[in-house]
Structures are given as C-alpha cells and as structure tokens.
Amino acid sequence: MSPNDTSKPANAQWGGRFASGPSEVMERINASIGFDRRLFAQDIAGSRAHARMLVAQGILSDEDGNAIQGGLDTISREIESGEFSFSAALEDIHMNIESRLRELIGDAAGRLHTARSRNDQVATDFRLWVRDEIDQVDTALQALQGALLDKAETHADTILPGFTHLQTAQPVTLGHHLLAYVEMFGRDRGRFADARARLNELPLGAGALAGTSFDIDRHAVAADLGFDRPMANSLDAVSDRDFALEFMAAASICMAHVSRFAEEIVVWCSDGFGFMKLSDAYTTGSSMMPQKRNPDAAELSRAKAGRVFGDLLGLLTVMKGLPLAYSKDMQEDKEPVFDAADSLALALAATTGMITDMEPVTENMRAAAGRGYSTATDLADWLVRAAGVPFRDAHGITGAVVKKAEDRGVGLAELPLDEMQAVDPRITEDVFDVLTVEASVASRTSYGGTAPENVRAAVVDARVRFLGDA
C-alpha cells in the first residue's frame, strides 16, 4: 500500500473531523495496542469505577450503568481467554475496549466516556499498572531476602575472605556477606514503597487537561480504586510521568544490587576462586568445551541491569523537553517501563533460585581466607590492647612482621615468635591466640560485625524487620 493512499475510511472513533484515514506509516507509528494491551485489566477497572461514579452522580442511568458493567465483564473474559480480537486501526487498549463495548451494548458504551479523556484515562491505567507491579516486586524481593537469610543462617560459621579492591582484606563469614545483600534489598523495598506512596493519587477526572464541567465525584473514584486522593491539579494529572521514572529509578538501583551479587557468583564459581558451585539448573555447557559449566543465569542477570538503566534514561529523555500538558511523545512511556519491570522480575527470580541452589565449597573458602595475611589487623589490634601501642605505631610494626612472614613464605600464625620479637619485643606468645582466621572472625563482635554469634542474631532481627516473623 502506498504511504499516500487515502482510500481507507476514517477511524470512526475520531469523529467527523478528518475526511480520510491515516496513511499506513501514520497508523503504525500512532498505534500502541501492540504493547498497551497489557493495561487491559487496569483499563477495565478504571472504567468500572468511573461508570459507578457517573451512576451515583445521576449523570448516567442505572440501566446504562448495568449494561456497561455487564459488557466489561464479557470483555474481561474474552481478553483473559484469548478470544478478544485486537485491532491496530483502533490504536490503543482504550479504543479497542470501547469499540467492543459498543458492539455488545450499543449507545450506552459511548456514554461511558462522559467526563473523561483518554489523557486522564491512560494516566490512571498506567498508575494502576505500576502500583500493581510494585506490589509484585515487593513480594519477589521479600522471597529473595528469605532465601538469603536461610543461606546466611546455615553458613553463620563458614569462613571466606573479605575483600577490598578484590584483594584479601580480612576474614568474614559467608553468612555475614549474604546479610549485606539482605540489607541492600531491604532498602530497595523501601524505595519501591516510597514510589508507591507518591504515585497513589488518582488522575481520572482531570479530563484532557482542564477538568470537566460535569458534577463528578473524584474522591469517590479514588477510594473505589484504592488511591489515597485525587490529584490536585488537572494539568499535572495528565502530563507527568514521574511515577514511572521513580519506579524505574528504584528498579535501576535494585538491579545494580542484583548485578553486584551476580558478579560475585560469577567470580566465586570461577576456577580461580572455586568458592561456589551451581547445579545444571542455573548453568549451561559449552558448544565446544565439554568440561565447562558456565554461570549463565548470573551473567544474564548482570546484563539485564544495563537494559533497565537504558529504559530509565530513555524515558527521562522523552520527558525532559515536553511542555504542559499532554504530548503524543508520552505514548513512548510504557514500553521502557514494561521492559524494565519484566527484566527486574526475571532477574529477581533467577537470583532467588541461584541463592537456593548454590553450594559453598567451604574448604576452598577457608584456605583462601588464610592467605594474604588477612589477620594482620588482628595483630595490630592485639598490640594496641595488650601492649598499649598507639594504633599508628602498631600498624607500622605489623607491616614489618608481615614483611618477615612474606620473606619466609609463611603465614602470620606460622612465623616464629622470636622473628616477631625481633621487630618489637613487646610481642608475646599470647599473640598466637588472635592470628587464626577463626579467632579473627570470632573477635568481630561489634554491632554489625561478622562474628558468628552476631550473624545468628542479625538473621533473627532481619526476619522480624523484613519478613514479619514474630
């Protein structure tokens, strides 16, 4: 078909303003039904509430209201069963549903749109959808935290090296390490909850941009749909998408945490570390190298962070130069949000599965924790406590002791006492009580520290804070 073809009849939903239909390219760029059909449940819910309010206000008859509710029941069943026929010529989910409603109940369908515009309708649908998605994300994050807590409790005593700069720093427990992510994902849940609280205002009733002359009850519709209140300004109600941006911002931070954990799994599963094993459920083989077991679930979760970041930047760019009120640019708001939500949901499910599946190789962790002079800080702390040495001086003394151990090719616990005393005579045999990784870990009893007793107490506390356990 030629892009200049004007033989197609006008879309009846537009009314009589245009004598001919849009060109094929215009129809394709203008249509959103390919992706916004995901809003069908929210669109129907909003229409139900709007119809109930119109009946209550005497704007719509009981007969028309009942017909609309019955027709929407039928449409909901048709869409859910896959029997509904979507049309790109009808542009979006709103007009597809309204057109089918007219087929089912006649003129009463046209009265449903009294006192509303597609502008406030889509803003309402989208807020409802994002709100529903946040609730699902919170459930997924809670399950992820639960998996981390179970694993942390099991491995409250399991020692592995803690790193800074990916260099061996001090020994910690695996339970303590996993609890760090429990806290991160807990803050993510807080960010999503904050976003949900801010978005929970109703746009419907704002009309196209200026409100309506009909005697509507926006507060009743807000209560019906579970919103805290109607939005206070009709221009703002139809023209901003900061709720979508905030959702994606929270999703981006959450995906940064997912990606960091995924990177740790990749590193831990590598031959160079050998700290962790994943089963075939979360790994794949190589097409050429039969010995390979690749942590693809972790790598793909790590990569999806980039998609979510890109989705956020894309919508920020769309919104940054738009004057009030509505512009068609805003049709581009849904695909990035849908993609971000899908990517986040999949990555959270994969991460939860990997946490449950992963099996620590404890002997490799323990051996690595003992390398790199990870208990050097314990020697310095001992000098402060037992010999009264200022910490800065103790730091220098410990560095010299570590140098002697390096020269002899032994760990600190294997360096003879006389060698240590040659550096500083105040060092006594009691120092060997603090130089093992077990002693080092057990000594870190300050609040938030890695001592196993701390880890067990922190698990109990986190179950109360995040999972609601009594």
Catalytic residues: 165, 286
Q: Which residues pair with 170 in a beta bridge?
A: 162
Number of H helices, E strands in the chain: 19, 6
Residues 6+ apart with CB under 8 A from 254: 137, 141, 185, 188, 191, 192, 344, 348
Tell me the two tokens of residue 44. 């129907």
Inter-residue long-range contacts of 311-315, CB under 8 Å, 24+ positions, other chains counted: 311/248, 311/336, 311/337, 311/339, 311/340, 311/343, 312/245, 312/248, 312/249, 312/251, 312/252, 312/336, 312/340, 315/241, 315/244, 315/245, 315/248
Mapping DSSP to helix (H, G, I), strand (E, B) and coil, where does residue 287 land?
Answer: coil
Best CA proximity match to 174, nearest among 265, 246, 251, 102: 265
Contact between 299 and 371 (Cβ < 8 Å)? no
Report the alpha-carbon distance of residue 330 to residue 308 in Å, rounded: 19
Report the alpha-carbon distance of residue 257 to residue 234 in Å, rounded: 37
Q: What is the 3-state secondary structure (H, E, C) of 381-428?
A: HHHHHHHCCCHHHHHHHHHHHHHHHHHHCCCHHHCCHHHHHHHCCCCC
Tell me the two tokens of residue 25. 């390219």
DSSP state of 161: E
Widest distance between CA atoms in the chain: 101
Pairing of strands 159-164, 167-173: antiparallel
The count of other CB atoms within 10 Å of the CB of residue 257 is 20
Q: Which residues pair with 164 in a beta bridge?
A: 167
Contact between 302 and 263 (Cβ < 8 Å)? yes
The helix or strand, by DSSP H or E, that contains position 206, with its residue range, turns out to be none
